[in-house]
Amino acid sequence: MRCLIVKPGMSPDTIDIPNELENLQAAVGGYIEAVTLSNTAALLVNEDGKNLGLPFNRVLLDKRCFLRDTLVGNILIVGVDGEEFTSLNKVQCEFYAYLFRNNMVYL
C-alpha cells in the first residue's frame, strides 16, 4: 500500500508497506487511531502517543485557524475506501505531501 509517512521534524516521504494491521502499528509505534482527512484519506497516529510523550509532529488547524489537534510521533497518511485503508494515488500523495510540509497544517 502506497502511503505517506510524516516523521517529527521531517518532510513527508512516500513509502510502500503491506496493508496489514501489524505493519501500520509498527509504522506509528503502537496501536493506531484514524483521523479523517477527507472521504478518501485518513491519517493514522499512535493512539497513546501523547500519554507516552512522543515528540511533537504537526498542529492541525481548521479553516478558521482554530486548533483541531496536536499530533505526536510518526503519522501515516493513507487512502480510504469505505472502511478499508487503501493506497494513495499520485495526486493524493503530492497534495498531502504539500499540505504536511510545514509544522502547521490547515484542513
Instruction: Tell me the per-residue pLDDT of 44-94, one tens digit each, with 9 for 90 and over.
Output: 999 999 999 999 999 999 888 899 899 999 999 999 999 999 999 999 999
Instruction: Tell me the per-residue pLDDT of 2-43, one tens digit each, with 9 for 90 and over.
Output: 999 999 999 999 999 999 999 999 999 999 999 999 999 999
At residue 98 the predicted structure's pLDDT band, cuts being 50, 70 and 90, is very high
DSSP states along 52-92: TTPPEEEEEE-TTS-EEEEEES-EEEEEEETTEEE---HHH
